[in-house]
Amino acid sequence: MNDIIRRNPGWTVAIALLAAAVVWLIVAPWSAGMEATFGRKQIFLNALFNGITLGALYFLVASGFTLIFGLMKNVNLAHGSLYLLGGYLGFEISEATGSWLFSFVVVFIAVAMLGVVLQYTVFRRMEGEDLRQTLVTIGISIVLADIMLWLWGGPSYQILTPDWLRGPVDLPLIAAVRDSGEVIYLRYPAVRIAILVASIALGVLMWLALNRTRIGMLIRAGVDDREMLAASGVRVQIIFMVVFAFGAGLAGIAGIVGGTFQSVVAGEDMRFLLASLVVVIVGGMGSILGAALGAVLIGLAEQLGSVYAPTYSVVFTFLIMALVLAFRPQGLMGR
**Shortest distance (Å) from residue 143 CB to another protein:** 4
* Euclidean distance between CA atoms 19 and 317, whole angstroms: 20
> At residue 263, what is the residue type?
S
Minimum Å gap between C-beta 241 and another protein is 20
Shortest Å distance, C-beta 52 to another protein? 22
Which residues of the shown chain bind another protein in the complex (CB under 8 A)? Answer: 75, 129-132, 134-136, 138-140, 142-143, 145-147, 150, 270, 274, 277-278, 280-281, 311-312, 314-315, 317-318, 321-322, 325-326, 329-330
CB of 208 to another protein, least distance (A): 24
- Quick one: 240 or 269, whose CB is closer to another protein? 269
CA 273 → CA 94, 179, 186, 222, 308, distances in Å? 24, 47, 32, 26, 26
Shortest distance (Å) from residue 242 CB to another protein: 23
Alpha-carbon distance of 317 to 330, in angstroms, equals 17
What is the rounded distance in angstroms from the CA atom of residue 174 to the CA atom of residue 183?
Answer: 7
C-beta neighbour count of 5 within 10 angstroms: 13
- Number of residues that this document lists for the chain: 335
- Rounded to the nearest 10°, the torsion over CA 44, 46, 48, 53 is -170
Considering the complex, state which of residue 68 and residue 186 has its C-beta at the smaller distance from another protein. 68
Nearest to 282 by CA among 6, 10, 62, 30: 62
HSE (CB half, 13 Å, CA atoms) of 5? Answer: 5
186 vs 321, beta carbon nearer another protein: 321
3-state secondary structure of 284: coil
Residue closer to another protein, measured from CB, 146 or 170: 146
- Residue number with CB closer to another protein (117 or 215): 117
Closest to another protein by CB, 95 or 130: 130
Shortest CB 270 distance to another protein, Å: 5
- Closer residue to another protein in complex, CB, 42/134: 134
Q: Helix or strand or coil: residue 174?
A: strand
Residue 183, amino acid: V
**Measured from the CB of residue 92, what is the shortest distance to another protein in angstroms?**
21
Smaller CB distance to another protein: residue 127 or 146?
146
Residue 123 C-beta: closest distance to another protein, Å: 13
Q: For residue 242, count other CB atoms closer than 10 A to its CB.
A: 16
End-to-end CA distance of the chain: 13
